[in-house]
A = this chain, B = another copy of it.
Amino acid sequence: MYEMGVVYRNITRADGDVARKLGALGTATVHEAQGRTGLLKPYMRPIYAGAQVSGTAVTVLLHPGDNWMLHVVAEHIRPGDIVIAAVTADCTDGYFGELLATSFKARGAAGLVIDAGVRDVRVLTEMKFPVWCKAISAKGTVKASLGSVNIPVVCAGALVTPGDIVVADDDGVVVVPAASAQKTLETAAAREASEGEKRAKLAAGVLGLDMYNMREPLQKAGLKYID
């Protein structure tokens, strides 16, 4: 399925400004705005609370227990990119730590999303380098097998194409295809705009039942109240 041993040097990145605006809206709103799709599996968690970032995807495909390609991908990071790392089989090893974070940061990376483990999490937290991963492990890796850079990858159950927009926060990680990013932003912003008014009503004690006009459909569906 995957093309192996190749590095695509030129990719078309989605608009960084759209990425920033989607990031401000957050994963839940963006995920809803694109029809409840694009979310990575919920086992992907930030290494520290409050981590929040958005940017353009550069992708890398790794082998289990082998982080060689993380050094290869570093060269192709541009400011504002988020590295999306997929692995060809389930693995919890610690592929990424302080040194690679230092290098990624120097290249301008905004964060890392890796379907595997990382280490040096105390230092990464101090560096404020945000990482979403499925495990934390001191287990190191070898540098022996070729994967690929900037091919489309499946990361934690979601397809990520290089240049896509990635939004990540405490609620998880969402991928927004470059082609539909502008439209998703508009839908998400509209959704967000309507939330303030709703929040105020609900805070005042208005019920969602009334605000969303649910009483009639509930009755039609057959809901019975028993005193």
Contact flag A138-B89 (CB < 8 Å), given A6-B224, A144-B145, A226-B7: no
Contact with B along A145-182 (1 / 0, CB 8 A): 11000001010011100000000011110111100000
CA distance A50 to B92 in the complex (A): 21
- Those of A59-107 within 8 Å (CB) of chain B: 63-66, 68, 71-72, 74-75, 88-94, 97-100, 102-103, 105-107
**B63 lies within 8 A of A202 (CB):** no
CA distance A176 to B138 in the complex (A): 14
Please report the total number of A residues contacting B with Cβ < 8 Å.
Answer: 102
- In the complex, which residues of chain B have a beta carbon less than 8 angstroms from the beta carbon of A36? 88, 139-140
Q: Is A198 an interface residue (CB 8 A)?
A: yes
Choose one: B48, B159, B203, B209; the contact of A71 (CB below 8 Å). B209
- In the complex, which residues of chain B have a beta carbon less than 8 angstroms from the beta carbon of A41? 90
**B28 lies within 8 A of A106 (CB):** no
Please, which residue of chain B has its CB at the minimum distance from the CB of A145?
A: B142
- Those of A104-160 within 8 Å (CB) of chain B: 105-107, 117, 119-122, 125, 135-140, 142-146, 152, 154, 157-159
CA distance A65 to B156 in the complex (A): 19
- Contacts beyond the supplied A74-B207, A119-B171: 13 A-B pairs with Cβ under 8 Å: A4-B35, A26-B120, A27-B138, A42-B117, A42-B137, A64-B93, A71-B207, A71-B214, A89-B91, A99-B198, A106-B203, A106-B205, A144-B145
List 19 interface pairs A-B (beta carbons < 8 Å), by A numbering: A4-B35, A5-B222, A8-B226, A26-B120, A28-B94, A41-B90, A42-B135, A63-B142, A65-B66, A72-B218, A89-B91, A99-B198, A99-B202, A102-B199, A120-B171, A122-B170, A136-B171, A136-B172, A137-B172
Those 7 A-B pairs whose CB atoms lie nearest each other, nearest first: A1-B38, A42-B137, A71-B208, A138-B171, A64-B65, A27-B138, A103-B202
